[in-house]
Structure 1
Amino acid sequence: MMLDLLFPNRCLECNRIIEADLLVCNLCFSQIHFTHFDYFGHNLLKERCRLLFPVEHAFALMQFEKENLSRKIVHELKYRNREKTGKIIAGWIPQHLDFKNKKPDLLVSVPLHPRKQRERGYNQLHTFTDALSKFYGIPADHSLIKRNHYSKAQALKDKQHRLQAENTFSLTRNITGQHILLIDDVFTTGNTLATIAWEILNRPGNTVSVLVMAMDE
């Protein structure tokens, strides 16, 4: 209570004092660039994924444009130790995505290397994925995919290095006949998701869909 008085939660955009379970005030919320993509239909994310791997469905919640509010929101989650941000963003997803009667079998988020997770203290996608799992009633698995190499943050790499991610990931166990929804924070080149997707698709009967918080320009 005392900390809330001394360090009140403030809107990421206008700095107005807001409730503890919010990221932005009601006025600034309208400035978030939601994509309104159709998960089951054709959209830009699906087109970009299909250039890299066979994808069933794809959905991006926000546009990750330079200097916009969506970028501030994702960076708040990734780099400023605000783990609860993932749960807040997940709460926006059901307003834009209805799986209807075609739910995926499993939610799988992009893993951090164990060293990176120790440095950060948490995987920013776990809280997000767990919140989606609870809402939609779809199991989540944070151990299916293993990151084999420690590397610096994607945001600090140039495009050429982001395209060099062969053998970065591997499956920890064999899975077959599963529809996996891969979850990441930002879709940039798509190389990370493609590397994981092919690990899954190389097993018989598996299919892959994609959900990201935001899609880069």
Structure 2
Amino acid sequence: MLLDLLFPNRCLHCNTIISKDELVCHVCFPQIKFSHFNFYEENPLKQRCKLLFPVKNAYAVMEFQEEALSQKIIHQLKYRSQEKVGKIMAEWTLERIYLSEKPDVLITVPLHPKKLKKRGYNQLHVFADTLSKNWEIPHHKEALKRNSYQKAQAQKDKSHRAETKYDFSLTEEISGKHVLLIDDVFTTGNTISAIAWEILKNPRNEVSVLVMAFDS
């Protein structure tokens, strides 16, 4: 393909030419700081979640580090329209999580309609759709809506991230379900917590959390 010759895919870290289906070269891949958390056991993400809301299980694929590969990967997904990143992240997730007890439904954090129109896609949907297909768990893309427009967490300095207020609502009834709530980066936990409490208004529901990266 002419475009592949003119604009070859390059490693996010060292700029080496790589296959179009890859993000980083085999030399740089070990520099990605995968979390090695256990989905069913205590881990730092689960401990953080437990301070905010009742959580059943929690998992982060990577540890988020500023100016490191994890940040570059997330930014490719969110701000560079690289939806393939979601599929690759899902493949990494599938290699690291074996579900002995499946959640009933996958729910992704929604974008506000204004932001969705500007970006053109929800960066979580390819990720969740790939997991949904492999795990055979339905992904309810429209189960939540975001009612207020906020500046992206990644575009704020850390001192102002905790000030953000979130307003979410369910668009469908969820009752007696174990929901796996999916987001890209866990920073303050404000987003996940606001949604979790909305789901947990029904005491018959349970919430687990899956994020691509955990900012510890």
TM-score, normalised by the number of residues in structure 2: 0.96
Structure-1 residue corresponding to 2:106: 107
CA–CA distance in structure 2, aligned partners of residues 163 and 51 of structure 1? 17
Q: How many residues matched?
A: 215
User: How do 1:41-190 and structure 2 match up within 5 A?
Assistant: 41-100=41-100, 102-158=101-157, 159-160=159-160, 162-166=162-166, 168-190=167-189
CA–CA distance in structure 1, aligned partners of residues 190 and 179 of structure 2? 17
Structure-1 residue corresponding to 2:209: 210
- Which runs of no fewer than 5 residues in structure 2 stay unpaired? none
Q: Deviations over 1:158-181 (max 9, x none)?
A: 444544324x10011221100000
- Which runs of no fewer than 5 residues in structure 1 stay unpaired? none
2:49 counterpart SS class: helix
CA–CA distance in structure 1, aligned partners of residues 68 and 149 of structure 2? 30
Does the 8 Å CA contact 1:163/1:191 hold for their aligned counterparts?
Answer: no
Q: Which moved more, 1:147-156 or 1:173-182?
A: 147-156
Identity %: 59
Q: Deviations over 1:79-107 (max 9, x none)?
A: 1111111111111001111112x100000
TM-score, normalised by the number of residues in structure 1: 0.96
Structure-1 residue corresponding to 2:17: 17
CA–CA distance in structure 2, aligned partners of residues 2 and 40 of structure 1? 47
Q: CA RMSD in A?
A: 1.1
Q: Deviations over 1:14-68 (max 9, x none)?
A: 1010001100011111111001000000000000000000000000000101221
Distance 1:163 1:50, change over 3 A: farther
2:183 counterpart SS class: strand
1:117 counterpart SS class: helix
2:31 counterpart SS class: coil
CA–CA distance in structure 1, aligned partners of residues 63 and 161 of structure 2? 23
CA–CA distance in structure 2, aligned partners of residues 137 and 14 of structure 1? 37
CA–CA distance in structure 2, aligned partners of residues 211 and 163 of structure 1? 23
CA–CA distance in structure 2, aligned partners of residues 164 and 34 of structure 1? 28
Shift of 1:187: 0.4
2:41 counterpart SS class: coil
